[in-house]
Chain A
Amino acid sequence: MTLTPIVQAHGIARRDALRGTTLLQPTDFALYGGDQVAITGPSGAGKSVLLRALALLDPLSSGSVRWRGRPVTRAAIPLYRREIAYVRQRAAILDGTVEDNLRYPYSLRVYRDLRFDRGVARELAAHAGRGADFLERDASDLSGGEAQLMALIRVLQLQPQALLLDEPTASLDPESALAGEALIRAWFAQGTSPRAWVWISHDTAQAQRVGTRQLTMRAGVLSEAATPAAAGTASAREATTQDPPDAQHTREVRDTRTARGIDKESTR
């Protein structure tokens, strides 16, 4: 494969030093332009940990992330996060109206080349099935689902290259969830170079819809899902957890974490 992945992770792992547990086993993962990756798995398996690690939001205990084949320097991290946008599970709401919230990113240095475009914002809101007054509403009055749509619009208007979506529609009713999906699909179809997403979902039907490649996460181990959906697609590329000799051991550790509470590393 001569293509360079947008994001490539090499053996990234995370340990919770406080509790002495492993949150993410050393994992290799590559995201190419055009990829639609769905990740399922039980709560607490490390799905969010993986996405946050890919967004460089948490310190890694080992491994590295490359962006278009290059390591990400400190100075480039804001730009990296602009291109590889992580969308939180629960929307963060700022004071003010929905429009104030949508304007917020433009106050950041990394977006100084962009200007807020109300027309675009209205269009996205309409696409998400929101009324014409959506932008003027007080953000603190929004329901959880509406806030999540607002957060999606906040990111999508910025036209990132890749999205790391952490259950973006979990708090939406089925109808709004479909509207949210449609919004994201419209973003995916735009752009001059192929876009990509990693989409965490609890809903297996949704995972089937949004993933041409299906992965599962269990106890910090990422693997190809057993479902046949991924078979035959061009994107059945590497997504393996390096098989650490102590994988079994670590799982035992998770069960006996109280005993490990006195671990040196847990002392802060």
Chain B
Amino acid sequence: MTLLNLSLLDVALAALLIVVNGALSLALKLDLERKLAWAAARTVVQLLAIGYVLGWVFSHARWYVVLPLISVMTLIAGFAGAGRGTRTYRGQRVDSILSIWASSWLIAAVGLFAVIGIHPWYEPQYAIPILGMILGNTLTGVSLGVERMTEALTARRDRVEMALALGATRWEAAQDAARDAVRAGMIPTLNQMAVVGVVSLPGMMTGQVLAGQSPLQAVRYQIVIMFLIAASSALGTVGAVLLTWRRLFSAEHRFLAARLVERTRAARQAG
């Protein structure tokens, strides 16, 4: 079994399918045509670019090439992880980058070195796609978790204040919100794990099968990946929620609600 190569013409044929979306948008007056065009263009440009970058990296497999690349990937994930929610606080980006970086690299290291056992340690063919999958899922967990945390603390501010006034520690006052937040951040991964193979065939497994790998080997990889993703998004979410908690509650057991600002306002002040 060999992989059928796609020519650029084949890709262009598939790209025409975006017309379906455009027609729907026009017919239903969704007013999405510009966004669709922009999103389609981004898909093409970003993927072509990463194709060239990966091709080049694979042929120059040196640690000083791989390390900067995966660092940039991690940074971008960190920025994206801080972009959700109507409220934000100063330092959210740093917290997001920190929690995503620590959790995804730790778990990726376990997966790459202990489980898969790649050699050399920076082997880009493994390190880049696996870290990428971990990052994508961790950033979802982190952004959902922090969004829920800031939302819950805003909505339950009176309860938090009441608890503190009664003598609750800053953790006792925040723990309900923090628990909700961690749960919210972990649900996408749990859902995904529940339906994997039944409803969805993950992209990586599909890719391996298309490339001629035996399905039995492909599912083994997929199982490993699922657990790596689950562990990293759990760690990342917990880390991000705890960092948020530390920013919003002072050591004097005070809730610094004034630090939570609406995003538009924060952007205006930054600008």
Contacts and interface: CB of A to CB of B under 8 A. Distances in A.
A25 B201 CA distance: 65
B161 A18 contact: no
B10 interface: no
B169 interface: yes
B164 to A, nearest CB: 6
Contacts of B259: 268
B168 A86 contact: no
B159 interface: yes
Contacts, number: 77
B165 A55 contact: yes
B254 interface: yes
A107 B158 CA distance: 18
Interface residues of A, number: 36
B158 A77 contact: no
B172 A109 contact: yes
B258 A79 contact: no
Contacts of A74: 251-253
A54 B252 CA distance: 13
B168 A78 contact: yes
B261 interface: yes
Interface of A: 17-18, 55-59, 74, 77-82, 85-88, 90-94, 104-105, 107-111, 151, 154-155, 158, 267-268
Given A18-B258, A88-B161, A59 B252 contact: yes
A158 B167 CA distance: 11
A26 B125 CA distance: 65
B165 to A, nearest CB: 4
B167 A79 contact: yes
B159 A82 contact: no
B92 to A, nearest CB: 12
Report, nearest first, the 6 A-B pairs whose CB atoms are least far apart.
A92-B162, A82-B167, A92-B158, A110-B167, A78-B167, A81-B167
A213 to B, nearest CB: 23
Contact of B252 (A77, A85, A110): A77
30 contacts: A18-B258, A56-B253, A56-B254, A57-B164, A57-B165, A57-B254, A58-B254, A59-B250, A59-B252, A59-B254, A59-B256, A74-B252, A74-B253, A79-B167, A81-B165, A81-B253, A82-B166, A82-B167, A91-B162, A104-B166, A108-B169, A108-B172, A109-B169, A109-B172, A110-B169, A151-B162, A158-B166, A268-B90, A268-B259, A268-B269
B163 interface: yes
A92 B159 contact: yes
A268 B260 CA distance: 10
Nearest to B256: A59
A108 B163 contact: yes
Contacts of B258: 17-18
A79 B166 CA distance: 9
B252 A56 contact: yes
A88 B162 contact: yes
A90 B250 CA distance: 24
B164 A94 contact: no
